[in-house]
Structure 1
Amino acid sequence: MIEVHELTKRYGRTTAVDRLSFTVRPGRVTGFLGPNGAGKSTTLRMLLGLDRPTGGRATVDGHDVGRLPRALRHVGALLDAGDVHGGRTARAHLTALAQSNALAPARVREVLAEVGLEAVADRRVGGFSLGMRQRLGIAGALLGDPPVLVFDEPVNGLDPEGVHWVRGLFRRLAAEGRTVFVSSHLMSEMQQTADDLVVIGRGRLVAAESLESFAARSAPSAVLVEAPDVETLAPLLAASGATAAPQGERRLLVTGLPAARIGELAAGHGLVLHQLATREASLEDAFMELTADRVEYLAGDPR
């Protein structure tokens, strides 16, 4: 479990993280979201003991990670896939990490196989693509078989097969009872992967809840209806408490009634429907609505 309590980080007069509190629970994939400049990376660095907080505390299973002698056994992390010596081979890099944490050499072979880098294990990392470096970083995070895993933008540079693999990996790790905390700016990826969300803006907490409840904060689900006689259908929908907005000559965007009820209403009056498609609440829509006043840098902003 990850626990963050009143965590604060100031750089001179700038407050990057402001009294931030949240909990990340085991057995779940938790997405960490926020606009650029929200303080996500600073929060992760403090959690992992790489930056000292100005105030508050961040712990992993009750421990300050910076004080753990063999931290990879407790928490695995990928913050920057490029933070590897380019002159080392993938195997040498992981072997050094294993030795510093008293891990068996066999574990290096296991994680290389798990991330699909066995065939290039003895190539220098400087010749790796970004996607290969991401896989190596994930291998390093898995090396100590830790109960808690932290990833910052882990799918950057991965091809579609790699993204699909990472998604499955995170779900499997959570199913094993581990705590999986993933920072990402890809809303579509989080919508397919995360169970819970922690959302921050300008260093402060915006939301900490399930993905479903967060997405439901956006505009309600709507149903796109296509019919040859919308002039007759629209008043019937309105009489049943729905709002029907025209979307061209033969289409209505309906809110206030589920698709099944719209279909029943049309059938009961002998009306033909050509399309009945539900548009679910969007994570991206909810994110944009709730963080609109917390964006540090806007397009066209001269700062």
Structure 2
Amino acid sequence: MIEVNGLTKRYGAATAVKDLTFAVRPGEVTGFLGPNGAGKTTTLRMLLGLVEPTAGTATLQGLPFRHHPRGLRHVGALLDAGDVHGGRTARAHLAVLARSNGIPRARVDELLREVGLAGAARRRIGGFSLGMRQRLGIATALLGDPPVLLFDEPLNGLDPEGVLWVRGLFRRLAAEGRTVFVSSHLMTEMEHTADQLVVIGRGELIAAEALSAFAARGTRLSVTVGTPDGAVLTPLLTAEGASVVPDGDRLTVTGLTAARIGELAFRNRVQLNELSTSSASLEEAFMELTSDCVEYLAGETR
């Protein structure tokens, strides 16, 4: 389990993280979202003891990371896939870490096979593609078979097969009862992978809740109505306070439920060919709820 309480980090007059409090529980995949510059990486680095908090606490399995002897057995992390010695081979990189953490050497080859790098085990990392480095970084995080796992943008550089593999891996790790915390900017992947979300903006907490609850909270649902009688139905809907956008024989309606629209159509003898409610979009909710927390906006003039 990961617990963050009042976590704050200031750099001079700038505050990167401000009074963050949240928990990441085992048995679920928790997505960590926020606009660029929101403080996600700083938070992860404080969790791993790489940055000292100005105030507050961050604990993993009840203790700060520095209090865990042979840390890879307790916490696995991928923060920067490029932060490795390019002159080493993949096997040598993992073997050094295994030895320093008291992990059996056999675990190295096991993981190289699991992440799809067995055929590249003797190649120098400097010649790896970004996707291969990501796979090696994931292997490093898994090396100690830890109960807590942190990943910062783990899908960068992966091909579609790799993305599907990582998605399944995270699900399996959570099903084994591990704590899986994933920072990502890929909303579609979070929709497919995460159970819970922690969302921050400008270093402050925006939400810590189930993905479905966050998406529903930030998005107004719309109803698509197919009818040849749009001119008749539209004023009936607007009279009820709905917003109606016509598009040929279809209307996009917000502000009324599908049930209420169907009732109005039935009462007024309006023919309906389609009546469907759109699903909530995580991306729409994220953009709406973090719109005033984005540091740089495309097309913005200052």
Change (3 A) 1:242 1:176: farther
2:92 is aligned to 92
1:35-92 deviation line (CA, Å, top 9, x unaligned) = 1111110110010011111111101011111232210111100000001111111111
Q: SS in structure 2 opposite 1:232?
A: helix
Report the RMSD for the aligned CA atoms in angstroms.
2.1
3-state SS of the aligned residue for 2:173? Answer: helix
Paired residue secondary structure (1:57): strand
Please name the residue that 2:250 is paired with: 251
CA distance in 1, matches of 2:231, 2:111: 62
Partners of 1:140 and 1:173 in 2: CA distance:
15
Larger mean Cα displacement after TM superposition, 125-134 or 261-270: 261-270
Check whether the contact 2:87–2:124 (CA below 8 A) recurs between aligned residues.
yes
Q: Please, what TM-score do these two structures have when normalized by structure 1? A: 0.92
Aligned residues: percent identity? 69
Deviation at 1:263, TM superposition (A): 5.8
In 2, are the aligned partners of 1:31 and 1:196 still within 8 Å (CA)?
yes
In the alignment of these two chains, the number of paired residues is 301
Whole-Å separation in 1 of the counterparts to 2:272 and 2:284 = 32
Quote the residue 1:104 is aligned against: 104
**Distance of 1:248 and 1:211 partners within structure 2:** 31
1:233·1:271 contact (CA, 8 Å) conserved in 2? Answer: no
State the AA in 1 paired with 2:253: V
For the 8 Å contact 2:202–2:293, the answer to whether it is kept is yes
Q: 1:114 to 1:263 in 2, by over 3 A?
A: farther
SS where residue 224 of structure 2 aligns? strand
Whether the aligned pair in 1 keeps the contact of 2:238 and 2:244 (CA below 8 Å) is no
Bigger shift: 213-222 or 197-206? 213-222
Correspondence 1:279 to 2:281: no
| SS in structure 1 at match of 2:207 | strand
* Structure 1: runs of 5 or more not aligned: none
Matches within 5 A, 1:212-251: 212-235=212-235, 237=237, 241=240, 243=242, 245-251=244-250
Q: Does residue 44 of the first structure (1) align with residue 44 of the second (2)? A: yes
| 1:175 matched to 2:179 | no
Letter of the 1:166 counterpart: V
Give the distance between the partners of 2:299 and 2:243, measured in 1 at CA: 35
Write the distance in 1 (CA, Å) between the matches of 2:243 and 2:7.
47
Letter in 1 for 2:298: A
Deviations 1:143-186 (A, max 9, x none): 11111100000001011111111111111111111100000111
- CA–CA distance in 2 between the matches of 1:283 and 1:139? 29
SS of match in other structure, 2:217: coil
Which structure 2 residues correspond to residues 140-219 of structure 1 after superposition, within 5 A?
A: 140-219=140-219
Q: Structure 1: how far apart are the matches of 2:257 and 2:221?
A: 9
Give the structure-2-normalised TM-score.
0.92
Which deviates further from its counterpart, 218-227 or 14-23?
218-227
Q: Secondary structure of the equivalent of 2:247?
A: coil
- Greater mean deviation of Cα atoms: 100-109 or 219-228: 219-228
Contact kept, 8 Å, 1:50 with 1:66, in 2: the verdict is: no
1:218-248 Cα deviation digits (max 9, x unpaired)? 2321122222222234356567x57251322
- Specify every segment of 5 or more residues in structure 2 that has no aligned partner in the other structure, as ranges: none
Q: Give the equivalent residue in structure 2 for 1:11.
A: 11
2:66 aligned with 1:66, yes or no?
yes
Look up the SS of the partner of 2:86 in the other structure: coil
The one-letter code of the counterpart of 2:290 is T
Q: Secondary structure at the match of 2:158?
A: coil
Aligned to 2:113: 113
User: 1:25 — aligned with what?
Assistant: 25
> What is the Cα deviation at residue 292 of structure 1?
1.6
Work out the CA distance in 2 between the residues paired with 1:302 and 1:72: 46
Counterparts of 2:132 and 2:55 in 1: how far apart (Å)? 37
Instruction: Find the aligned partners of 2:179 and 2:111 in 1 and give their Cα distance.
Output: 19
Task: Tell me the CA shift for residue 250 of structure 1.
Answer: 1.7
Deviation at 1:20, TM superposition (A): 1.1
Structure 1 residue 10, shift from structure 2 partner? 1.3
Q: Which region of structure 1 is more displaced relative to structure 2, 229-238 or 51-60?
A: 229-238
5 Å matches for 1:259-278?
Answer: 259=258, 262=261, 269=269, 271-273=271-273, 275-278=274-277
Alpha-carbon distance between aligned partners in 1 of 2:160 and 2:189, rounded to the nearest angstrom: 11
Contact 1:37 1:297 in 2 (8 A): no
